[in-house]
Amino acid sequence: MHTNPDLTIQSFLDYLKFEKRYSQHTIRGYAEDLSFFCSYLQTVFNETDVAQAPSSYIRSWMADQKEKGLSAKSINRRISTLKSFYKFLIRQGVISLSPMTTITSPKISKRLPVFVEQKDLHTLFAHVEFPQGWEGRLHRLILALFYSTGMRLSELVQLKDSQVNCELSNLKILGKGNKERIIPMTTELQLLLQEYLAAKVQLEGAEDFLIVTENGKRTRPRYVQQIVKNYLSLVTTIEKKSPHILRHSFATHLMNNGADLNAVKELLGHSSLAATQVYTHNTIEKLKDIHKKAHPKG
């Protein structure tokens, strides 16, 4: 049964948006992957119906991606896109068997999450001088929110005043797929937020987004990324200096200090333990290091 590939792909993307409630960013990634695959099918095999592509065509595309220097991680993401797409087509009754059953993903060498050392973050919050006025207050709060809660950049820029509960000392975060999670605040973060919100009331016509500039307008992701990069540059020499590195630092420091893996999973908003388990490797590396330094035969 031949199908209209444009309609088939669009119905899949609609399913991701309305039923799976994926973010625009994630849906755009799926759409790009499918667009590249369709283009390859048409150019190399003169096949216009993506639903009818056999596994040999998919293997050919994977080989082509590898030859072009695409990383194993990127190839795996494209395999994942096609698996989801063909699973959707089976559910819709368009095909009866997925061509992905014989496709294997290339192995990825596990890289440990990069993080900022605890002592360096202590230096940042205890000794680095922040600018006077609104700018300094905003910068300190942004850094404290990332490190004290482990939230994602997208979650921070979307955060509303109403999601802050100073009475119960927690934050309600709206994560991937609109999943809610509650994160407790440290005493230090709570004080910062109370001072910030009291000052924000004085801003004329401020938006109800929590993180706003001095003119009351919500901040953009790039602006927040630049702030994090600038301040981390003062205390660490690690190559990547992004909000996500502070998320890694939050999780790694919790694990290194004995936090329960399931608790860290909930705090990060991971849907499965597999994503959180990568932080246990850093803990193991730390234990090895301690053992090597402290054991008589180390």
Output DSSP code: residue 160: B
Of the residues 59, 160, 176, 281, only one is catalytic, namely 176
Examine the residue annotation and report whether 20 is marked as an active-site residue of this protein.
no
Of the residues 59, 181, 270, 281, only one is catalytic, namely 270
**What are the distances in angstroms from CA 220 to CA 11, 83, 197, 253?**
31, 34, 19, 28
E runs forming strands in 143-197:
164-165, 170-174, 180-184
**What are the distances in angstroms from CA 77 to CA 58, 72, 88, 93?**
14, 9, 17, 25
Of the residues 57, 86, 147, 279, only one is catalytic, namely 279
Examine the residue annotation and report whether 291 is marked as an active-site residue of this protein.
no
Contact status, residue 99 vs residue 53, Cβ threshold 8 Å? yes
Of the residues 247, 248, 253, 265, only one is catalytic, namely 247
Examine the residue annotation and report whether 297 is marked as an active-site residue of this protein.
no
Examine the residue annotation and report whether 139 is marked as an active-site residue of this protein.
no
**What are the distances in angstroms from CA 47 to CA 29, 50, 52, 84?**
22, 7, 8, 20
Of the residues 78, 137, 152, 265, only one is catalytic, namely 152
Nearest to 144 by CA among 107, 191, 178: 191
Examine the residue annotation and report whether 122 is marked as an active-site residue of this protein.
no
- Cα-based torsion angle of the residue sequence 243, 248, 254, 259 in order, rounded to the nearest 10 degrees: 130
219-224-226 Cα angle (round to 5): 135
Examine the residue annotation and report whether 152 is marked as an active-site residue of this protein.
yes
Which H/E stretch holds residue 274? Answer: helix 273-294
Active-site annotation, residues: 152, 176, 244, 247, 270, 279
